Amino acid sequence: MLKRENATAIYGSVATNGAVVVTLKEGLEDFITVSESELDLSYDIDIPFDVPTNGKEQIASLKEMEVPASYKYYAVPKLSRDAFLLAEVANWQTLNLLPGEANIIFEGTYIGKSFIDPSSTSDTLNLTLGVDKRVVIKKEKLVDFSSVKFIGTNKVQTMLYEISVKNNKKETIQLILKDQFPISTNKDIEVQQTESSGGDINKETAVVTWKLSIASGQSEKKRIGYSVKFPKGKRVNL
């Protein structure tokens, strides 16, 4: 019996047809009874299961399920130039998953481990599939559009960056691109947002978000620009 509180769930891979596969042993499904209460979930195996006396952990493969998933890329070039692929599984609560580590295998390659948390209140189960180097992201400062000016006792520094995304995959991708304007917590420092290329700006966090659909072999460019005014003698890191 595998109990919710102490089970390590070992899950499978992502199929080439775009489905997330929860891989468990073929033929064993008919001998598994799932018992669920408000506080617990358990799997009862109704046939004998051999456990070698070698002191090593053993994996009991229980069931195989194939569920649809949607795929999106996420990128935050302020923090990393990589694009991360995420699989989103809807209605995952009906799968009776146990909490634990999941081995992620994508397109035949072992990506790493994720964690399944059935106690999550989210309607969507998110599985991180790692970095995809076929989605190339660059962020460059446009020197010709950046400047430093002095106005009275203040210094005004203007910055403009261009973010480019190139899709080298064979299919169209959906990508969530994020960046952020500086936020001032000092009344002597003023930040003005000057360019966001139509992105959605969160007024509280100053995070700008672009939702992109990029065809195979195509590129998309977005710009983020701002100016910062502060006293001449003050040091500001931008």
Could you give the domains of the chain?
2-47+61-69+91-126 (no CATH), 135-231 (2.60.40)
With the CA atoms of 36, 39, 43 and 49 taken in that order, what torsion angle do they form, in degrees rounded to the nearest 10?
-150
- Interval 140-173: pLDDT, tens: 999 998 899 999 999 999 999 999 999 999 999 9
Q: How high is the pLDDT of residue 12? A: 41
Q: How far apart (Å, rounded) are the C-alpha atoms in residues 105 and 110?
A: 4
The answer to whether the CB of 87 falls within 8 A of the CB of 14 is yes
CA–CA dist 197, 194 (Å, integer)? 10
Q: What percent of the chain has pLDDT over 70?
A: 78
| Residue 48 · residue 7 · CB < 8 Å | no
The residues facing 157 across adjacent strands are 148, 228
